[in-house]
Structure 1
Amino acid sequence: MTTPLHPSAATGFDQGAAAYARGRPDYPPAIVDWLREALALTPRSRVVDLGAGTGKFVPSLLATGADIVAVEPVAGMRAQFAAEYPQLTVLDGTAEAMPLADASVDAVVCATAFHWFATAAALAEIRRVLRPGGRLGLIWNVRDERVPWVTRLADLVRSYAGDTPRQADDTWRRVFPAEGFGPLQQTEFAHSHEGPAETVIVGRLLSTSFIAALPAAAREELTQRIHALIAAEPELAGSDRVAMPYRTMAYATQKIA
């Protein structure tokens, strides 16, 4: 039985798919070598982009030459994905019910997605579709809160989170160690998202699921608060371009043959 999508994802990502595509950062170039080494992706591999969203992780996967199948439960996200990558297949499915045959893929990748479906049932389904020895990769772009102004922005947004699942709360880790999988291997990359503050900061924060799901008036109030914080930060105020610092966290585990 498939767990219903959290309301923040069902509403926020469906309504905010275009904002998500504009506001979210890409992934660091170094992640391509990680995909080749940690997940063993080659042009002969078949990989599932699970919780593919609008396709933000697709360029990294395309660079490996692997055959890509995307699975995404939110209709608005699928439409954005299909418009951006008409040459790829994007299927309507969830982590607990993928429309794929048993042992049919070499790898499953969840890019800024696994926290939404970190359950034993999802891992059992991932294990089902993986071939013996297949790999699971979990990747997140995490704002680097070691930088004080990033922490202040994060605190502003966190107050709206409610019970929305988030990578930062680490509850996704509770499903590991997982039956049928080896230990998680962790790698970290430094990354940044550069551009106008309106895109890199405001657009990114407004693309957050629980923010996109807010009523318009509440979202506008938050937008004004973000602008006020930017104007008060010496490192940001009056800058044509800013750099939001990230830590890209990557985890790999292998299906036990």
Structure 2
Amino acid sequence: MPPIHKSASTGYQKSADKYQSGRPGYASASLDWVRDKLAIGKQSMVLDLGAGTGKFTERICAICDHVIAVEPVTAMRHTLQQTLPQVEALDGDATHIPLPDESVDAVICAQAFHWFASDEAVNEMARVLRPGGKLGLIWNVRDERTDWVAAITRLITPYEGDAPRYYKGDWKKPFPSPHFTPLELQRFDQTHDGLADDVIINRFMSASFIAAQSEAVQADIERQLRELVASHKALKGKEHISFPYVTEAYSATRL
């Protein structure tokens, strides 16, 4: 099994609890996307690849009784198992999926594909998919049309280092693929509503490249985030905050 990027292996191992509480769920429209674009129903066999703590796995379970989660980071996989004991959670990664050939009807990567985007991973996903099976790639993306969201991006970007990021677009390099139809994109607006400690502080302190920093650097980042919350006119004094996101969902069919 190839090594996991340090930001993911270290950061997510340390921040699984904050990830679970701080990361947004997915727009209700994503359920329609799962049903309509990925053709998933009760009897489908679905693989959630890079499942993390099960944020999207839970969505899949709402409409499907046969879900397998593959996650290489132990702490995140354990959190998923505690939250969703009905799901078979396996240790593995995108280039070594522990499933037989043509064994699933759909492969979904939620907030994950940018970590392992490669021809090798796409070939492996095609291997486990049945002909006509569906590939789904979905991300929650911060809506930076809101000024304080853009301010958070400016604050955290210097700490990214070489960590793969969705917005950079490098994840698209394996496409078009000879195994799949062209990717189709759908977008949904949503908000993550809750306390500032969850939707801002835990959300960004759980980012892999931040959680992998030294304790001193993490403390400084948290201080800056709290200063923004306390001083920005749209945030200060607010008990609950609505953090705007755009969900971007890509689908393709196994040829």
The interval holding the TM-score normalised by the smaller chain is over 0.9
Q: Partner residue of 2:12?
A: 13
Q: Partner residue of 1:199?
A: 198
Q: Could you tell me which amino acid in structure 2 is paired with residue 230 of structure 1?
A: V
% same residue: 45
Structure 1 residue runs of 5 or longer lacking an equivalent are none
Task: Please state if 1:80 is matched with 2:73.
Answer: no
Q: Partner residue of 1:167?
A: 166
Q: Secondary structure at the match of 1:39?
A: coil
Write the distance in 1 (CA, Å) between the matches of 2:57 and 2:132.
Answer: 23
How far does residue 152 in structure 1 lie from its aligned partner after superposition? 0.6
Written as runs of structure 1 = structure 2, the 5 A alignment for 1:1-257 is 2-256=1-255
Structure 2 residue runs of 5 or longer lacking an equivalent are none
The CA RMSD measured in Å over matched residues stands at: 0.8
Decide whether the 8 Å contact of 2:14 with 2:211 is kept in 1: yes
How far does residue 11 in structure 1 lie from its aligned partner after superposition? 0.3
How far does residue 173 in structure 1 lie from its aligned partner after superposition? 1.1
Write the distance in 1 (CA, Å) between the matches of 2:185 and 2:100.
Answer: 29
How far does residue 66 in structure 1 lie from its aligned partner after superposition? 4.1
Q: Could you tell me which amino acid in structure 2 is paired with residue 209 of structure 1?
A: S
Q: Secondary structure at the match of 1:145?
A: coil
Write the distance in 2 (CA, Å) between the matches of 1:81 and 1:231.
Answer: 33
What does the per-residue CA deviation read over 1:157-187, in whole Å, with 9 as the maximum and x for residues that have no partner? 1110000001111110111101211000000
Aligned residues: 255
Q: Which runs of 4+ in 1 moved over 6 A?
A: none
Write the distance in 2 (CA, Å) between the matches of 1:57 and 1:148.
Answer: 28
Q: Which moved more, 1:97-106 or 1:172-181?
A: 172-181
Write the distance in 2 (CA, Å) between the matches of 1:229 and 1:236.
Answer: 8
How far does residue 65 in structure 1 lie from its aligned partner after superposition? 2.2
What does the per-residue CA deviation read over 1:77-111, in whole Å, with 9 as the maximum and x for residues that have no partner? 11111111112110000000011000000000000
